[in-house]
Amino acid sequence: MNKTEQVLAHLDAGFPAAQARWMDWLRIPSISAQPAHAPDCRRAAEHVRAELESLGFTATLRETAGHPAVVAHHPGPGGNAPHLLYYGHYDVQPADPVELWTHPPFEPTEVDGPHGKRVYARGAVDDKGQVSMWLTAFRAWVEQAGTLPCRVSVVIEGEEETGSVNFKPFVVANRDELRADACIISDTGMWDIDTPAISASLRGMTYMEVTLKAASRDLHSGMYGGSALNPINALTRALGQLKDDQGRIQVPGFYDGVQDIAAGKANQWASLGFDESRYLGDIGLSVPSGEAGRGPLERLWARPTADICGIWGGYTGPGTKTVIAAEASAKVSFRLVPGQDPDAVAEGFKAFMAARVPADAKLEFTLFGASPGLEMATDSPFMRAAQAALAEEYGKPAVLIGCGGSIPVVDTIRNELGMDCVLMGFGLDDDQVHSPNEKFEVRCFHQGARSHARLLGKLGGG
């Protein structure tokens, strides 16, 4: 038994305790978007800081202009061992609509499922679950081998779900402390529960809120209807033009810089045998949305989107209220691909709206985050080590996939710190990330932790 095998045996033996630590962390409702949960965010940060300290890290809570970040360092074995930066986030999405959860979102619950046990909770996978995997790997190495096989730095932020607006400048301000040989991130997915994956691209995102204001007060729809501007009519009229009949987004300049995917990538994706009918069938749909004339994985991984994530205005209670509201609002998320300028998309959206509302309409915008789409390097020694670790754990090669989601800070890590990122994630499509009833398969958690232990061993010569 080599050292890694001993560590894996120790990890398996201690797995119930690892799962308990993960579930304890899930009990803290660290919803970064909601100011009322700011103390919970700090508690979640302190919780993981203490855990890192117990593993021999020098671990501190660091203030930002928003929620605090956790920064920790472990010297590893010394010598020529590589230096890795592990990135993750302790914040979670809001649990709304709470009434659709079958278990309370912040009381993690273990339930039997088709793949064995699974745990339901907000953050079960995204990202407390995935961070807990590498913490579990760290513990197994420290307890079994006395140290980590690599020099390890950790940074865990509290604003990933709100665009890392304050975390990005924190990274830049602390670049010397955070720079390492490579960055390891688990915040993405597998191909399926038997097939590991490494994400070779991420979509970026520009997220905006728009409010359209009309009259100075709510109006009676009988007394004023036919004369007064209705902001909900005006908002739907403008937002209803976001896409043309072919699903092409009509924001001016939106496609500037967007490239068609290369033939090689198209062929590799086609070889994955993605079954979009089944993918949509699992969520009760049958007809793909998005741009006409594009492949299913291309639409998910390599084409930008415009999704209205929320809309509200006027009377939304039971029954009727015959009112012309004073204002109406919407939240719009644009997922971006490499080549698009996130700030230009924000400006384009403002121009799009301004060109489509009546003279009396007053528009107000809030920009909640802007990060570009990214391609990862796929030929580094760190990437090769991750592929080898996954192949050994799963008995089959990892596939290279795209990720339709966004990790805002990856751009900063790559371009400001000059580090490649390895996106080795263990989520499944049906994990209901950002939805009610988010869950993580215990098997994914366990094999993810083992994969991380293997990766450390490979990079540290163990």
**What sections of 182-230 are H helices per DSSP?**
none
Per CB under 8 A, does 319 bind its own copies?
Answer: yes
C-beta of residue 58 within 8 angstroms of C-beta of residue 177 = no
> Which residue type occupies 266?
A
Per CB under 8 A, does 97 bind its own copies?
Answer: yes
The smaller minimum CB distance to its own copies, of residues 13 and 65, is found at 65
Minimum distance from residue 436 beta carbon to its own copies (Å): 6
Q: Print burial letters for 332-352: b (CB count within 10 Å at least 16), e (below 16).
A: bbbbbbbebbbebbbbbbbeb
The smaller minimum CB distance to its own copies, of residues 141 and 301, is found at 301
Interface with its own copies (CB under 8 A), residue from 368, 378, 392, 420: 368
Binders of its own copies among residues 3 to 32 (CB under 8 A) are 32
Minimum distance from residue 424 beta carbon to its own copies (Å): 17
Structure tokens at 18: 């690892």
Q: Please tell me the total number of residues recorded for the chain in this structure.
A: 462
Residue 326-365 contact track with its own copies, rule CB under 8 A, x = bound: --xxxx-x-x----------------------xxx-----
Per CB under 8 A, does 321 bind its own copies?
Answer: yes
Minimum distance from residue 420 beta carbon to its own copies (Å): 22
In three-state secondary structure terms, 153 is strand
d(CA 268, CA 175): 36
Minimum distance from residue 223 beta carbon to its own copies (Å): 5
- Residues near 357 by Cβ (< 8 Å), separated by ≥ 6? 212, 234, 235, 237, 238, 363
Positions of E strands within 56-187: 58-62, 69-74, 83-89, 109-113, 116-120, 151-157, 182-185
Minimum distance from residue 110 beta carbon to its own copies (Å): 21
Interface with its own copies (CB under 8 A), residue from 40, 51, 127, 161: 161
Binders of its own copies among residues 397 to 426 (CB under 8 A) are 403-406
Minimum distance from residue 359 beta carbon to its own copies (Å): 5
Q: Please name which of 129, 148, 131, 130 lies closest in space to residue 139, comparing C-alpha atoms.
A: 148
Per CB under 8 A, does 236 bind its own copies?
Answer: yes
387: DSSP letter: H
The smaller minimum CB distance to its own copies, of residues 16 and 318, is found at 318
The smaller minimum CB distance to its own copies, of residues 178 and 242, is found at 242
Binders of its own copies among residues 106 to 145 (CB under 8 A) are none
d(CA 88, CA 409): 10
Interface with its own copies (CB under 8 A), residue from 243, 248, 350, 443: 243
Per CB under 8 A, does 242 bind its own copies?
Answer: yes
Per CB under 8 A, does 255 bind its own copies?
Answer: no
C-beta of residue 33 within 8 angstroms of C-beta of residue 309 = no
Per CB under 8 A, does 436 bind its own copies?
Answer: yes
The smaller minimum CB distance to its own copies, of residues 78 and 97, is found at 97
Q: Please name which of 164, 198, 204 lies closest in space to residue 338, comparing C-alpha atoms.
A: 204
Among the residue ranges 170-178, 376-384, 390-398, 434-442, the one whose residues contact its own copies (CB under 8 A): 434-442
Binders of its own copies among residues 271 to 290 (CB under 8 A) are 276, 279-280, 283-290
d(CA 103, CA 316): 27
C-beta of residue 441 within 8 angstroms of C-beta of residue 202 = no
211: DSSP letter: E
The smaller minimum CB distance to its own copies, of residues 30 and 406, is found at 406
Minimum distance from residue 328 beta carbon to its own copies (Å): 7
